[in-house]
Amino acid sequence: MATEKTDVVIVGVGAAGGILAAELGKAGMKVIGLERGPRLTTQDFDPHDELRYFQRQDLRPNIKRQPITWRPNANAAATAIPVQNYGNQAGGGTVHYGAVSWRLHEDDFRARSHTIARYGASAIPEHSSLADWPLSYADLEPYYERAEYELGVSGKAGNLQGQKIDGGNVFEAPRRRDYPLPPLRLDQGAILFEAATRKLGYHPFSTPRAILSEPYHDRLACTYCGFCQAFGCHVGAKSSILVTKLPEADASGNFKLITGAMCHRVNSDNSGRVTGVGYYGPDGSDNTIEAELVILTTFIYDNTRLLLLSKTDKFANGLANSSGQVGKHLMAHMMPNVYAVFDDRHVNNYMGPSAQKHTIDDFNADNFDHGGTGFIRGSQISVGTGNLQGGPIGHTTTAPPPGTPRWGAAYRDYLAKSFTRQVAMVAQTENLPYGDQVIDLDPDVKDAWGLPAPRLTYDWRRPNELARVEFMMKKMEEIGRTMGAAQVWRAPLGPGAPGAHHEGGTRMGSDPKTSVVNRYGQSWDVPNLFVIGSSTFSSMSGFNPTLTIQAFAYMSADAIVNRYRKAPGSLL
Partner 1 sequence: MTKHDEARRAFLLGAAVGAGAVAGATLVPDALAQTHDARTTGTGIGPAHSPAGGPGLGAFFNTEDAATVAAFTERLMPGAPGKPGARDADVLNYIDLALAGAYADLQYFYRRGLASLDAYCRKTHKEPFRDLSAAQQDEVIAALEQAKASEFSWPSAAAFSNTVRTHTMEGMFADPIYGGNKDFAGWRLVGFPGGQMEFTAADMQSSGPFTRLPIVGLQAKAG
Active site residues: 501
Q: How does strand 487-490 pair with strand 255-259?
A: unpaired
Q: Is 220 in the site for partner 1 (CB under 8 A)?
A: no
- Shortest distance in whole angstroms from residue 42 CB to partner 1: 13
Q: Is 415 in the site for partner 1 (CB under 8 A)?
A: yes
List the one residue out of 207, 201, 154, 143 whose CA is nearest residue 176: 143
Q: Are 281 and 260 in contact (CB under 8 A)?
A: yes
Q: Is 409 in the site for partner 1 (CB under 8 A)?
A: yes
Q: Is 350 in the site for partner 1 (CB under 8 A)?
A: yes
- Shortest distance in whole angstroms from residue 424 CB to partner 1: 16
- Shortest distance in whole angstroms from residue 226 CB to partner 1: 7
Q: Is 567 in the site for partner 1 (CB under 8 A)?
A: no
Q: Is 393 in the site for partner 1 (CB under 8 A)?
A: yes
Q: Are 3 and 287 in contact (CB under 8 A)?
A: yes
- Shortest distance in whole angstroms from residue 166 CB to partner 1: 22
Q: For residues 75 and 114, what is the distance between their CA atoms, to the nearest angstrom?
A: 35
Q: Is 412 in the site for partner 1 (CB under 8 A)?
A: yes
Among 56, 177, 199, 513, binds partner 1 (CB under 8 A): 56
**C-alpha 14: how far from chain center:** 11
153 three-class SS: coil
Radius of gyration (C-alpha) of the chain in whole angstroms: 23
Q: How far is CA 441 from CA 95, 436, 446, 517, in A?
A: 28, 15, 9, 20
Give the binding range for partner 1 (CB under 8 A) out of 20-28, 400-408, 450-458, 562-570.
400-408
CB closer to partner 1 out of 393 and 572: 393
Among 50, 150, 292, 366, binds partner 1 (CB under 8 A): 50
Q: Is 79 in the site for partner 1 (CB under 8 A)?
A: no
CB crowding 470-485: b at 16 or more within 10 Å, else e: ebbbebbbbbbebbeb
Among 41, 223, 562, 570, binds partner 1 (CB under 8 A): 223
Q: For residues 486 and 118, what is the distance between their CA atoms, to the nearest angstrom?
A: 40
Strands (E), 494-561: 500-503, 529-531
Q: Is 47 in the site for partner 1 (CB under 8 A)?
A: yes
Q: Is 358 in the site for partner 1 (CB under 8 A)?
A: no
Among 182, 408, 494, 569, binds partner 1 (CB under 8 A): 408
Q: Is 396 in the site for partner 1 (CB under 8 A)?
A: yes
Question: Footprint of partner 1 on residues 280-309 (CB under 8 A)?
Answer: none
Q: How far is CA 402 from CA 13, 104, 323, 490, in A?
A: 44, 37, 50, 9
Task: State the DSSP code for 135.
Answer: S
Q: Is 188 in the site for partner 1 (CB under 8 A)?
A: yes
Residues forming the site for partner 1 (CB under 8 A): 47-51, 55-56, 64, 185-188, 223-227, 234, 345-348, 350-352, 391-393, 395-397, 406-409, 411-413, 415-416, 419-420
